A and B are shown apart, each in its own frame.
Chain A
Amino acid sequence: MSITRSFLDTPFVRRSNRLRTFITAAWLGWQIESNWADPFLFAIYSIVRPVTSVLILVVMYSVITNGALQEPIFAYIYLGNALYILVGQVITGVSWSVIDDREHYRTLRQLYTTPMDGYFYLMGRGVARLIIGLISVLITIGFGIIAFQLPISIGAINWPMLLASTILGVLSLAAIGMVVGSLTLMLARHFWSLGDAISGALYLFTGAIFPLDVLPAWLRPIGFAFPVTYWLELARRAILGPNAAKFPTLSGFSDLELTGILAAITLMLLVFSWFFYRWALHRAKENGIFDMETSY
């Protein structure tokens, strides 16, 4: 708390309501996500769970391919799935706090009578899950290197491209999370976890596990519209090198082209989420959603 305290008191942060909101919300999110009574549970949640889900995939893969774990395409698929952990974590991280604050902590009214900025509040609340997600991704990849000899060498990674694409990818996911959160705010229904549902449903459309070309032509646009598709491709190229085995779907595009597409979609999503949030808030106030205290 003391670090956050002094940080919030720097003149730069003090002057900006949005920055202050964002940091305070991130602090709150971290208290909630990391303050597990039991560190053991925390470890299961952020380490064991993701690793197991990747293990399931590895087992399926090796059954289907007769144990061809040395094939170069395996590393590509493994990485895609490891990175995909972030999708659910970020979308849910940003959107879930609406339900959490409204129905669990019942603080929505208290929050929305302060001058804090709701958009930056939700974004801030997502930071904790992003951090946990990143830890899970690193652990999963590390596990892959040790257990399956994934051909990854730290020195050969294209760090600028990995960093840039991941920042864009995370921003786009946060924007999607904002849209989901706004929907939740507006509809006052108890979506258990729309974020998880969406990330689950889109799993098949992002080339995480099989190329988009496998899908019927009329379903493919979903994958091409979803920024994660480009982020996964760029991140995998950055980690494995441009010549590693990969799905043919996006092989016609250069790194720069893919980055451009990802940046454009991300920007569009951010702008859209900004206006969508304002509109949802207006609807919520029109319909009296802040009253809502659906029993939990």
Chain B
Amino acid sequence: MDTNLAIETNDLGRVYRLRGPKRKGDAKQLVALDGVNLEIRRGELFGLLGPNGAGKTTVIKILATLLLPSSGVGRVEGLDVTRDVQEIRRRISMVSGGETSGYGLLTVEENLWMFARFYGLDNVTARKRIDALLEVVGIADRKRTKISDLSTGLRQKMNFVRGFISDPNVVFLDEPTLGLDVTAARDVRGFVKQWMHDHPDRTVLLTTHYMAEADELCDRLAIIDRGKLLACDTPENLKHRLQREAIFNLKVGPLGPKPSRDAMIEAVPGVRQATIVEQNGHTELNLILAQEDVLSNVLAHLTRRGSSLISLEKREPTLEDVFVDLVGRRLDVDTSHHAEGEHAAG
């Protein structure tokens, strides 16, 4: 057991029994995690990146002692997640994005104070931290506002603050920017970066399905899909994997009947991955090619299908491409919109 590891999982597995219409001997099971091995060092800001249903939240819940693994071992600061529950809870905190919950009739301060007490903080420390954190996220003036009177965005900020009130060693952030507007999301990311900078021995495990967020924040990333870990490295190294490949965005005229990714990969040797999005009257192709000169074959293929080129762009690999390369489909169509919107506003 390496004491420098903040988080360690060993063949971690989780199976959910699905409740459905009850028929005997017909209990359906869903494998949410399948042999996940993670090693996260102290001081790392580590990201779990994956599409909806990949198993990100399941990993976090197991590590935060809310859920038992079906198989394998999970450790937080060397402590076993199934046995050393109380000891782990003293050292961790967890915040889920979109978390607008809380006792509506308490004020922001009272709510945070209460959680501070559950963590065993004394009064003076609790107050100091509450004031400081509320200041940082810019809701100090709402200290005495009842939670029920807060907008959902502000509630989310309050819950975010709750995650840091106990000065935890390990913080689990499950999609922390989910549902936040562009500025608020940037604030949250800024806070996490600053906190890590101020506390270099602390660890954050963050899940997201926003590529840009993962790229911007994380020291290292694991890409997870359907309960399996597909890759784990720094964002740079992950992108570097695609260094030899060439990545093109093509906008073309209608591709004729049923354009499919598989057909494209089959028809043109050297096409490693393709995603195809049909959009009002034209088609967008995202291609990962084994090398650049495959492009001429692609263009010939398009001409044979009666389509014509509208625009062509060669670009640097992004995490999105890494994901497509590994999984064979895009992470999430919405992701790109989110990222674009943010750039436009920023």
Q: Are B101 and A115 in contact (CB under 8 A)?
A: no
The docked-state distance in angstroms from the alpha carbon of A6 to that of B101 is 27
CB of A125, distance to nearest CB on chain B (Å): 11
Q: Which residue in chain A gives the minimum CB-CB distance to B91? A: A115
Is the C-beta of A129 less than 8 angstroms from some C-beta in chain B? no
Q: Are A113 and B114 in contact (CB under 8 A)?
A: no
Among A6, A115, A282, the residue within 8 A (CB) of B119 is: A115
Q: Are A115 and B118 in contact (CB under 8 A)?
A: yes
CB of B91, distance to nearest CB on chain A (Å): 9
Q: Are B117 and A8 in contact (CB under 8 A)?
A: yes
Q: Are A28 and B103 in contact (CB under 8 A)?
A: yes
Count of chain B residues with a beta carbon within 8 Å of a chain A beta carbon: 35
Q: Are A20 and B120 in contact (CB under 8 A)?
A: yes
CB under 8 Å from chain B, chain A span 267-295: 282, 285-288, 290-291
Q: Are B67 and A291 in contact (CB under 8 A)?
A: yes
The docked-state distance in angstroms from the alpha carbon of A112 to that of B65 is 8
The docked-state distance in angstroms from the alpha carbon of A285 to that of B67 is 4
Is the C-beta of B271 less than 8 angstroms from some C-beta in chain A? no
Is the C-beta of B207 less than 8 angstroms from some C-beta in chain A? no
Q: Are B106 and A31 in contact (CB under 8 A)?
A: yes
The docked-state distance in angstroms from the alpha carbon of A20 to that of B159 is 22
Q: Which of A69-77, A101-109, A200-208 contacts B (4 or more CB under 8 A)?
A: A101-109
Q: Are A288 and B67 in contact (CB under 8 A)?
A: yes
Number of residue pairs across A and B with beta carbons under 8 Å?
86
Q: Are A5 and B123 in contact (CB under 8 A)?
A: yes
The docked-state distance in angstroms from the alpha carbon of A6 to that of B102 is 24
What residues on A are CB-neighbors of B122 within 8 Å? 9, 14
Q: Are A8 and B101 in contact (CB under 8 A)?
A: no
The docked-state distance in angstroms from the alpha carbon of A291 to that of B106 is 24
The docked-state distance in angstroms from the alpha carbon of A291 to that of B159 is 17
The docked-state distance in angstroms from the alpha carbon of A115 to that of B125 is 17
What residues on B are CB-neighbors of A27 within 8 Å? 114
What residues on B are CB-neighbors of A107 within 8 Å? 101-103
CB under 8 Å from chain B, chain A span 1-31: 1, 5-6, 8-9, 14, 17, 20-21, 24, 27-28, 31
Q: Which residue in chain B gives the minimum CB-CB distance to A35? A: B105
The docked-state distance in angstroms from the alpha carbon of A163 to that of B102 is 37
What residues on B are CB-neighbors of A288 within 8 Å? 16, 61, 67
The docked-state distance in angstroms from the alpha carbon of A20 to that of B122 is 11
Q: Are A287 and B17 in contact (CB under 8 A)?
A: yes
Is the C-beta of A153 less than 8 angstroms from some C-beta in chain B? no
Is the C-beta of B295 less than 8 angstroms from some C-beta in chain A? no
The docked-state distance in angstroms from the alpha carbon of A155 to that of B105 is 42
- Which range contains the number of A residues in contact with the other chain? 20 to 34
Q: Which residue in chain A gives the minimum CB-CB distance to B93? A: A113
CB of B23, distance to nearest CB on chain A (Å): 19
Q: Which residue in chain A gives the minimum CB-CB distance to B159? A: A110
Which residue of A35, A110, A285, A288 has the most chain B CB atoms within 10 A of its CB atom? Answer: A110
Q: Are B119 and A114 in contact (CB under 8 A)?
A: yes
Is the C-beta of A60 less than 8 angstroms from some C-beta in chain B? no
What residues on B are CB-neighbors of A47 within 8 Å? none
Given that A14-B122, A113-B94 are known contacts, is A28 also in contact with B114, CB under 8 Å in the complex?
yes
Is the C-beta of B86 less than 8 angstroms from some C-beta in chain A? yes
The docked-state distance in angstroms from the alpha carbon of A116 to that of B62 is 18
CB of B203, distance to nearest CB on chain A (Å): 15
What residues on B are CB-neighbors of A9 within 8 Å? 122-123
Q: Are B105 and A109 in contact (CB under 8 A)?
A: no
The docked-state distance in angstroms from the alpha carbon of A1 to that of B112 is 13
Among B66, B92, B123, the residue within 8 A (CB) of A290 is: B66
The docked-state distance in angstroms from the alpha carbon of A1 to that of B160 is 23
Which residue of B90, B113, B162 has the most chain A CB atoms within 10 A of its CB atom? Answer: B113
What residues on B are CB-neighbors of A105 within 8 Å? 101-104
CB of A17, distance to nearest CB on chain B (Å): 7
CB under 8 Å from chain A, chain B span 68-109: 68, 86, 89-90, 92-94, 96, 99, 101-106
CB of B18, distance to nearest CB on chain A (Å): 11
Is the C-beta of A32 less than 8 angstroms from some C-beta in chain B? yes
Given that A285-B66, A286-B68, A290-B67 are known contacts, is A106 also in contact with B118, CB under 8 Å in the complex?
no
Is the C-beta of A215 less than 8 angstroms from some C-beta in chain B? no
What residues on A are CB-neighbors of B105 within 8 Å? 31-32, 35
The docked-state distance in angstroms from the alpha carbon of A27 to that of B114 is 9
The docked-state distance in angstroms from the alpha carbon of A285 to that of B64 is 11
Given that A110-B162, A291-B61 are known contacts, is A17 also in contact with B96, CB under 8 Å in the complex?
no
Q: Are B118 and A116 in contact (CB under 8 A)?
A: yes
Q: Are B114 and A21 in contact (CB under 8 A)?
A: no
Which residue of B86, B115, B159 has the most chain A CB atoms within 10 A of its CB atom? Answer: B115
Interchain residue pairs with CB less than 8 A apart (11): A21-B118, A28-B106, A31-B110, A105-B104, A106-B99, A110-B101, A113-B94, A114-B115, A114-B118, A115-B86, A290-B67
Instruction: Pick the 4 closest A-B CB pairs, nearest first.
Output: A106-B101, A114-B118, A116-B118, A115-B89
